[in-house]
Amino acid sequence: MGKLYERIDGRIREFIEDQPVFFTATAPLAADGHVNVSPKGRAGTLVVLDEMTLAYLDFGGSTAETVAHVRENGRVTLMWCAFTGPPKVLRVHGQGEAVFRDDPRWSGLITRFEDVDGPSARAIVVVHARRISDSCGFAVPFMEYREERTQHAEYFARKTDDEFAAYCAKKEYIGVSLDGLPALPLPLPARAD
């Protein structure tokens, strides 16, 4: 049976910090808009800021659906699954906001990710928890974590900031979402850190 939690602390925080992957779910307000679910990984790219707030790095990729949806309506759910140990699925339903590279908050937030090589960080998504709950996870399979994939970090580490901005500018669904919502600001602001 699932349980509600008042805050992200103790065993809940440990569970979040121990998982090598999490998922984000967002949707536009339009009934015919595309619902988006994205896997997120790379060690150190998600931090618990306080008992009700998390943040993760939004990296370069082919689209910016999560950012677009958060900009439009703020609704976001983060989900973690226990692939080892006792079964558990944990969800944080919240209000999200995208902090872009030219935002005055960027320099303070990016230091929370200092152990991560983030040359392709486009935004920091901050999630203010509204509901924290778990469920049994009995149907989630056991899976063994082997290691981080390095291709993403290696690929973007070879790009200068200007080359990364050019990469973002040429992608069809970076400045706008699949549904035409504003996503990342283009041209991509230079890093403020």
pLDDT in tens, 62-120: 899 999 999 999 999 999 999 999 999 999 999 999 999 999 999 999 999 987 766 68
Are residues 127 and 94 in contact, defined by beta-carbon separation less than 8 angstroms?
Answer: yes
pTM: predicted TM-score of the whole model, two decimal places: 0.94
Give the distance from CA 128 to its chain's centroid.
13
DSSP character for 156? H
Nearest to 98 by CA among 71, 73, 77: 71
